Amino acid sequence: MNTTVTIDLQRASQLLKLLGDPTRLTMLKLLKSHECCVCEFVEIFKMSQPAISQHLRKLRDIKLVKEERRGQWIFFSINENHENYPFIQSILEHLPEQNESIAELEEQGLRVCCQ
């Protein structure tokens, strides 16, 4: 008996295409352990704010990430309830932790904390 949950091939290729971009893949890996807001990604990737926003929109459109406004900032987090989260997770597991990026942000005092 085969109990492995499989994922439709069209769907899988759609998800893989989204992950097949270094910026979005790193974003997801980061979001797996830390919430981040847009301005943090701008610092981490040294990329323009609209570019970051557009990547996040793609991830949000297929509901891989959630957003939550807190004051001025919008925090993004990974959507663990996504139908295909196990698939996504099994991919992210193979990637090295991106803690350095976050550590650097903190050193520079650029990490957004707002509780």
Partner DNA sequence: ACAGTTTATAATTATATGCTTATATACGCA
Partner DNA sequence: TGCGTATATAAGCATATAATTATAAACTGT
Binding footprint of a copy of itself on the chain (CB under 8 A): 4-10, 12-22, 25-26, 29, 86-87, 90-91, 93-96, 98
88 touches, from DNA, a copy of itself, none (C-beta below 5 to 8 Å by class): none
d(CA 62, CA 18): 9
25 touches, from a copy of itself, DNA, none (C-beta below 5 to 8 Å by class): a copy of itself
Q: Is 21 in the site for DNA (CB under 7 A)?
A: yes
**Minimum distance of DNA from residue 3's CB (angstroms):** 32
d(CA 23, CA 45): 7
d(CA 109, CA 50): 22
Amino acid present at 15:
L
Q: Is 58 in the site for DNA (CB under 7 A)?
A: yes
- How many other CB atoms sit within 10 Å of the CB of residue 19? 18
